[in-house]
Amino acid sequence: MTLLVLAWYFTYVALGAYAEDFMSRPVFGVVNMGIVLGLLQFVTTAIVTVVYGRYVRKRIDPLVDRLREQEGTGR
What pLDDT is attached to residue 1?
A: 86
Q: Which domain holds residue 38?
A: 2-71
- Cα 26 to the chain's mean position, in Å? 25
Tens-level pLDDT at each residue, the chain (75 residues): 899 999 999 999 999 999 999 999 999 999 999 999 999 999 999 999 999 999 999 999 999 999 998 988 655
What pLDDT is attached to residue 36?
A: 98
Q: How many CB atoms lie within 10 A of CB 71?
A: 8
Rounded-to-integer distance, Cα 42 and Cα 38, Å: 7
| Domain count along the chain | 1
What pLDDT is attached to residue 75?
A: 58
Buried b / exposed e along 33-67 (16+ C-beta atoms within 10 A): bbeebeeeeeeeeeeeeeeeeeeeeeeeeeeeeee
What pLDDT is attached to residue 72?
A: 82
